[in-house]
Amino acid sequence: MGRYLQSCLSVVTGAFGGYGFIAEVMGRETLTRNLQERTLDMAFALDPIKADEFYCKQVSSLTLVLVSTENKNLSDIFASRYIYVDWGTRFSSEHGERHPKIPAPYLRTSTARIALDFILEKGGSAYLPESLVEPHLTSGELFRVGDVTPWPRPVYLSYRKASTSIEAIEQVERLLQGDD
């Protein structure tokens, strides 16, 4: 999601002169609290933030691929240095359905960049955004796990329905959907 958000940030900051921006990684609970407390105008998340006072809409998607530093099949991938990236609540439950009875991961992280850097340095495997790993697949540093299909994940934009910044937020939404 990091590369998607970096791209969004570039588009948005280019379109909005005179505004200040903050880009941070936060957990779902923190995002929800900050939206409720009005210390955050909008949030991007991989799970919808559901509350009556919020508007939440899918604005994009990212495709996760299971990659490894070795050319392995799925049956071998979880035995050694599998890095679990927390892609949200829905991902967690679907991951459990897709891969029941696997050993505990070698490492857990909420950041794709940490997982990527770790496996490139130490070896291992992880579900990572295709756009992030594509250069490493091309160079041969990483391999797709052959018998695993890509896993599309929705990206949601959430904000308060009664936000004082509603016009700017809606303009951001249009920019990200390519309507402007």
Residues of the chain with pLDDT under 50: 179-180
Q: 61 near 153, Cβ under 8 Å?
A: yes
Length of the chain: 180
Closest CA to 71 of 163, 137, 135: 137
Q: What is the pLDDT of residue 180?
A: 41
Q: What is the pLDDT of residue 104?
A: 92
Taking residue 153's Cβ as centre, other Cβ atoms within 10 Å add up to 19
Q: What is the pLDDT of residue 76?
A: 87
Query: d(Cα 35, Cα 24) in Å, to the nearest integer?
Result: 14
Show the CA angle centred on residue 134, arms to residues 28 and 49, nearest 5°: 15
